[in-house]
Amino acid sequence: MESLTVGRRAIIKGRPLPTADFMRSGTIGHLSGIGALAYRSAMTSSSASITIRPLEPADWPTVWPILRTTFQAGDTYAFSPDSSEAEIHKAWVELPAATFVACGAGGEILGTYFIKANQAGLGAHVCNCGYVVAPAAQGQGVASLMCEHSQQQAVAMGFRAMQFNLVVASNVRAVRLWQHLGFAIVGTLPGAFRHHTLGYVDAHVMFKTLVA
């Protein structure tokens, strides 16, 4: 389903990424140099390929409009629709441990995700991720590929589990996708999300153990 190729040298927030062999075995490696992985996956819906790589500063002018459009809709993320570019850059790029982009065969950015510790201190072994797909790329399996990539990346970074804190219940497609990828609803927060058009709707906490 998925092939691994060693990609461009990079470092993610001070953490060297492991080699492909380490990633295949699920073991955290310590590199003598600085490494990163580029994943190339065949989409099930077409013959095109997607490469997932670390976000670069030059990507932001393209990533920001994708995020802005998603957050302004007010139906999936808790970010204020009026959030400034600086606020979103801090939340999506500066604070997380790593941020990635999914690119099409021609290098166009199709989506982006971040990974970070869900809690500090004694809860830091559980990570949290957020994913956004460009409107024009939806329905092509981009979110699924990014989620699969993020789980492998999480294990490589030493996380033992992944938690989604606020999956809007009315976002049925996302809920079903996460369940398909092995996440379970471990709790539902009544009226925890103020949907732009539906008003107060429930939100799920979803969880998946990555390392037994």
Q: pLDDT tens digits, residue range 146-188?
A: 999 999 999 999 999 999 999 999 999 999 999 999 999 999 9
Q: What is the mean pLDDT of residues 62-75?
A: 98
Average pLDDT value over all residues in the chain: 82
Residue 44 has pLDDT above 80, yes or no: no
Residue 22 has pLDDT above 50, yes or no: no
| Cβ pair 147, 178 in contact under 8 A | yes
Number of helices (H), then strands (E), in the chain: 5, 9
Question: Can you state the angle between helices 172-180 and 142-156, rounded to 10 degrees?
Answer: 50
Higher-confidence residue: 137 or 41?
A: 137
Each residue of 145-156: pLDDT tens digit?
Answer: 999 999 999 999
Distances (CA, A) of 192 to 92, 107, 176, 204: 22, 38, 19, 9
- Using a 10 angstrom Cβ sphere, with 0-12 exposed, 13-18 middle and 19 or more buried, the burial of residue 183 is buried
pLDDT at residue 48, as a whole number: 52
Q: What does DSSP say about strands 109-117 and 126-133: parallel, antiparallel, or unpaired?
A: antiparallel
Domains, the chain, in order of start with CATH, read 2-209 (3.40.630.30)
| Amino acid letter for position 89 | H
Tokens representing residue 40 in the block: 């190339």
What radius of gyration do the chain's Cα atoms show? 17
Model pTM score: 0.79
How far is the C-alpha of 147 from the C-alpha of 149, rounded, in Å? 5
Q: What is the mean pLDDT of residues 132-145?
A: 95
Helix (H, G, I), strand (E, B) or coil at 73: helix
Residue 92 has pLDDT above 50, yes or no: yes
